[in-house]
Amino acid sequence: MNIWITIIIAGLLTFATRLSFIFLLDRIKVPDWFRRGLRFVPVAVLSAIILPDLTSPNGTLFLSWRNPQLLAGIVAILVAWRTRNVLLTILAGMAALVVFQVVLGM
Amino acid sequence: MIAKMRKHEFWSGVRDEAPILLGVVPFGLLFGTLAISSHLSSLAAQAMSSIIFAGSAQLIAAQLVGTGASGLVILMVVFVINLRHALYSASVAPHIRHLGTGWKLLLSYLLTDEAYAVTITHYNREGDSPERHWYFLGAGFTLWSAWQASTAVGIFIGAQIPASWPLSFVLPLTFIALVVPALQDRAGVAASVVAGLIGLLAVNFPYKTGLLAAALIGIVTGLLIEGRQK
């Protein structure tokens, strides 16, 4: 397959996936549990992105107090919980990561 | 009056999306550089960023092109990696159902992980203002511009940020900052913990299928806990 055709079809597939329910939800009747489940989408998807990023920073599971990403992530969770502030959470998490990397020598 | 409200919503979206760019730009640089080393032309590499506009899928697609994979394989991989966007689509749909087709097409095109995370958090926190789609547009357009520009720099100059700089860590940190304050009841916490743990265990599933399964099981867990509380 020509690279350009591949790129265009890949773009259309991605776009169709993103449009799917935005287009369909007006036109089909969805069951009640489906609507109630929607409020869990952001916390579930983002948690499923966050945790592996902390515990497997290089692609393999590294559950250890010597894992600087995991420690910095815990710091960020505490800061986010206490302050509810995005910038502070990022700054604290990055600072913690750099400190832990230096301290742990990684 | 309306114009002022739209402007306010748009710029709020731009402002709230801005911090996450710190993590997105290195990713765009990396994609541009990697696409060229996989023997894609500069034009094709930039076209991937504007036509597909999905970071992880582009990165893997470029690698597959480099290894000489067939177009059909690449399409299937891109489709599976991006399936999680159907969840985002369902999640934002109730907030933008009042819009016309043009707006729905535009916002669907801009529905990336990073724009979705910022926008849905804002909608859940602030409630639905009448001009809320302008917030989505501001966040989505900000991410889009940064992605196009960083791809171009990666293509033509190469990734100049040392690999030892842990800037990509800004992405999970931003998501933490968005998720933690949103955990306000037992069902939400259960959905988050279950999805996180399954995501952790399934990290080596190919093409983000672990992420998708983790999210779906997390959502079902939230529903079950919520149902039991009633």
Please name the residue of chain A whose CA is at the shortest distance from the CA of residue B209: A48
Residue B230 has pLDDT above 80, yes or no: no
Which of chain B's residues have a Cβ under 8 Å away from the Cβ of A44? Answer: 191-192, 194-195, 214-216, 218-219, 222
Q: Would you call A36 and B203 a contact, using CB atoms and an 8 Å cutoff?
A: no
DSSP state at residue B167: G
> For residues B207 and A15, which has the higher predicted lDDT (pLDDT)?
A15
Condensed to tens digits (0 to 9), the pLDDT of residues B166-183 reads: 888 999 999 999 999 999
Half-sphere exposure at residue B10, Cβ-oriented, CA atoms within 13 angstroms: 8
Give the pLDDT of residue B91.
Answer: 97
ipTM above 0.90, yes or no: yes
| Mean pLDDT (whole number) for A33-46 | 94
Within its chain, how far is the Cα of A69 from the centroid? 14
Give the pLDDT of residue B6.
Answer: 95
| B194 contacts: CB under 8 Å, gap ≥ 6 | A44, B214, B217, B218, B221
- The mean predicted confidence, pLDDT, of chain B is 93
Give the pLDDT of residue A70.
Answer: 95
Residue A99 has pLDDT above 70, yes or no: yes
Structure confidence at residue A1 as a pLDDT band (50, 70, 90): low
Give the pLDDT of residue B131.
Answer: 95
Q: Would you call B211 and A2 a contact, using CB atoms and an 8 Å cutoff?
A: no
Give the pLDDT of residue B206.
Answer: 87
Q: Would you call B195 and A47 a contact, using CB atoms and an 8 Å cutoff?
A: yes
Condensed to tens digits (0 to 9), the pLDDT of residues A60-77 reads: 888 888 999 999 999 999
Give the pLDDT of residue B229.
Answer: 75
Give the pLDDT of residue A104.
Answer: 81
Give the pLDDT of residue B164.
Answer: 67
| Mean pLDDT (whole number) for B156-162 | 76
Please name the residue of chain B whose CA is at the shortest distance from the CA of residue A15: B109
Would you kindly state where each structural domain of chain A is located, as residue ranges?
Answer: 1-30, 42-104
Q: How many CB atoms lie within 10 A of CB A46?
A: 29
- The mean predicted confidence, pLDDT, of chain A is 93
Asked if residue B218 lies in contact with residue B226, where contact means CB atoms within 8 angstroms, the answer is no
Q: Would you call A101 and B166 a contact, using CB atoms and an 8 Å cutoff?
A: yes
| Mean pLDDT (whole number) for B134-154 | 97
Distance from CA of A64 to the nearest CA of B (A): 14
| Mean pLDDT (whole number) for B95-103 | 96
Rounded to 5°, angle at Cα B175 from B172 and B180: 120
Distance from CA of B7 to the nearest CA of A (A): 22
- What the block records as the tokens of A63 is 């559950």
pTM of the complete model beyond 0.90:
yes
Asked if residue B117 lies in contact with residue A44, where contact means CB atoms within 8 angstroms, the answer is no
| Mean pLDDT (whole number) for A32-58 | 93
Q: Would you call A22 and B107 a contact, using CB atoms and an 8 Å cutoff?
A: yes
Give the pLDDT of residue B208.
Answer: 87
Residue B163 has pLDDT above 70, yes or no: no
**What is the residue-wise DSSP string for A15-54?**
HHHHHHHHHHTTTSPPPHHHHHHGGGHHHHHHHHHHHHHH
Residue A13 has pLDDT above 90, yes or no: yes
Which of chain A's residues have a Cβ under 8 Å away from the Cβ of B126? Answer: none
| Mean pLDDT (whole number) for B87-110 | 97
Q: How many CB atoms lie within 10 A of CB A27?
A: 6
Asked if residue B31 lies in contact with residue B149, where contact means CB atoms within 8 angstroms, the answer is no
Residue A9 has pLDDT above 90, yes or no: yes
